[in-house]
Amino acid sequence: MTAPLASVLFVCVHNAGRSQMAAGFLDHLAGDRIEVRSAGSIPGDQVNPAAVEAMAEVGVDISDRKPKVLTTEAVRASDYVITMGCGDACPVFPGKKYLDWALEDPAGQGVDAVRPIRDEIRTLIEGLVAEIDAQRRA
């Protein structure tokens, strides 16, 4: 098996909505080509049920995922660190590519409010996959 093209870490506060949807899309769209992690600065107890439902509507199952705490090891092991509203809670290491995606927090919202966030995340993920693929071909 070949090594992944890149490793991506998605970080939000609770690791229950945005970062889980992003990780689900990246797993779905890139398969084994890109290593995927997600974590939260203050992880929640479970993945947001509205996020699970919204993702299931587009054929991506994130129902078995669990929020995880953000560790410096996870950041150190990643090529890309994509933050989603965790502010200064994310450790910064040289040599990593940091992106901040300003996405609305789906916490406490129903599936109708989560769908546009999900769709925005998918668009961002598609761009990220294209960027990683282009860099590896360059």
DSSP state of 69: B
Strand partners, 122: none
| Rounded-to-integer distance, Cα 43 and Cα 69, Å | 6
Would the pLDDT of 87 be above 70? Answer: no
Which one of the listed residues 54, 86, 103, 128 is annotated catalytic?
86
Would the pLDDT of 1 be above 60? Answer: no
Would the pLDDT of 116 be above 80? Answer: yes
Tell me if residue 46 is catalytic: no
Which one of the listed residues 23, 39, 90, 128 is annotated catalytic?
90
Tell me if residue 63 is catalytic: no
Whole-number average pLDDT of the chain: 92
- Using 50, 70 and 90 to split pLDDT, how confident is the model at 16? very high
Torsion of CA 4, 32, 86, 48, to 10 degrees: -170
| Rounded-to-integer distance, Cα 32 and Cα 83, Å | 22
Which one of the listed residues 5, 6, 11, 12 is annotated catalytic?
12
**pLDDT tens digits for range 42-68:** 999 999 999 999 999 999 999 999 999
Cα 45 to the center of its chain, rounded Å? 17
**Reported pTM:** 0.93
Q: What percentage of the chain carries pLDDT values higher than 70? A: 95
- Using 50, 70 and 90 to split pLDDT, how confident is the model at 117? very high
